């Protein structure tokens, strides 16, 4: 149980275009979703946290108008990278927790974004 | 600035030995601490979380927390080659250390 999927697993886009990444909890209700970014050979950086039906809370330094996060249902959250640039190329990872077990955290497999 | 420090390693231990991974944090008010394992090229997975002083055991893994010393550690008993990975320490799932690379030598 407790599976989180991400789509796409990898994407290449041109500079200036937008990319949407989907994160789904397949067998549980994800009351909280976390979006992380990881550059090569670096650690995870939390971008934002979202609760179902609420606006996402962005970490300091993360542009909310550039990284649009929507958590419209208990099984789906999306991250849209708007007007992507090469410096946005990274490994984007979502994770989720459920209400009854808030410390258990389930990760999606990640999405590798390359902006050319 | 809130920081989490880990020895980057690599830490090499023989198969069957105990691997000890350490982490210190700067925010004295931190309440929850997490250890993750990340294989190369993969997303992380949660190994353990701890929020009370003392030890917490789960199978071959033991997390130890000392809030007075602002120190959290992860012990892996009977280390296996499959434990070879990078281990990330995090405070509140927000601030991460740079990770310690563990190699278990058969």
DSSP string, A48-80: EEEETTSPPEEPTT--TTTEEEEEEETTEEEEE
CA-nearest residue to A104 within chain B is B46
Q: Are B44 and B36 in contact (CB under 8 A)?
A: yes
Asked if A43 lies within 8 A of B99 by C-beta distance, the reply is: yes
Select from B43, B46, B49 the Cβ nearest to the Cβ of A109.
Answer: B43
Contact with chain A for residue B35, Cβ under 8 A: no
Residue B49 pLDDT: 96
Rounded to whole angstroms, how far apart are CA atoms B81 and B85?
9
- Total residues belonging to chain B: 106
SS3 call for A86: helix
Please tell me whether the peptide bond between A3 and the residue prior to it is cis, using omega within 30 degrees of 0.
no
Contact with chain B for residue A109, Cβ under 8 A: yes
- Tens of pLDDT, residue by residue over A31-55, are 999 999 999 989 999 999 998 878 8
SS3 call for A87: helix
Q: What is the pLDDT along chain B (106 residues), one digit of tens a residue?
A: 779 999 878 999 999 999 999 999 999 999 999 999 999 999 999 999 999 999 999 999 999 999 999 999 999 999 999 999 999 999 999 999 999 999 999 9
Low-confidence residues in chain A, pLDDT < 50: none
CA-nearest residue to A48 within chain B is B94
Rounded to whole angstroms, how far apart are CA atoms A70 and A68?
7
Number of H-type helices and E-type strands within chain A: 0, 11
Report the gap between the CA of A95 and the closest CA in chain B (Å): 9
Q: Are A92 and A22 in contact (CB under 8 A)?
A: no
Residue B42 pLDDT: 97
Residue B3 pLDDT: 92
Chain A with chain B: Cβ pairs closer than 8 A:
39
| Other beta carbons less than 10 A from residue B93's beta carbon | 22
| R_g (Cα) of chain B, nearest Å | 13
Residue A54 pLDDT: 83
Q: What H or E segment, with its residue span, contains residue A102?
A: strand A101-107
Secondary structure letter of residue B84 according to DSSP: -
């Amino acid at each position: 149980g407790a599976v989180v999927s991400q789509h796409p697993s990898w994407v290449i886009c041109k500079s200036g275009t937008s990319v949407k990444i989907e994160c789904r909890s397949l067998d549980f209700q994800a009351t909280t979703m976390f979006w992380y970014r990881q550059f090569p050979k670096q650690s995870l950086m939390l971008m934002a946290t979202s609760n179902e039906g609420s606006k996402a809370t962005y970490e300091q330094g993360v542009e909310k108008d550039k990284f649009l996060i929507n958590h419209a249902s208990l099984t789906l959250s999306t991250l849209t990278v708007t007007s992507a640039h090469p410096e946005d190329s990274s490994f984007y990872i979502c994770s989720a927790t459920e209400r009854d077990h808030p410390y258990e955290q389930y990760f999606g497999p990640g999405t590798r974004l390359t902006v050319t | 600035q809130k920081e989490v420090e880990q020895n980057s390693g690599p830490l090499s231990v023989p198969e069957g030995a105990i691997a000890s991974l350490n982490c210190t944090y700067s925010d004295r008010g931190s309440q929850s601490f997490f250890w993750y394992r990340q294989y190369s090229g993969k997303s992380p997975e949660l190994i353990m979380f701890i929020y009370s002083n003392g030890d917490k055991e789960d199978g071959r893994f033991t997390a130890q927390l000392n809030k007075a010393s602002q120190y959290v550690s992860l012990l892996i008993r009977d280390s296996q080659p499959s434990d070879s990975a990078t281990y990330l320490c995090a405070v509140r799932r927000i601030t991460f250390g740079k990770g310690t690379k563990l190699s278990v030598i058969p």
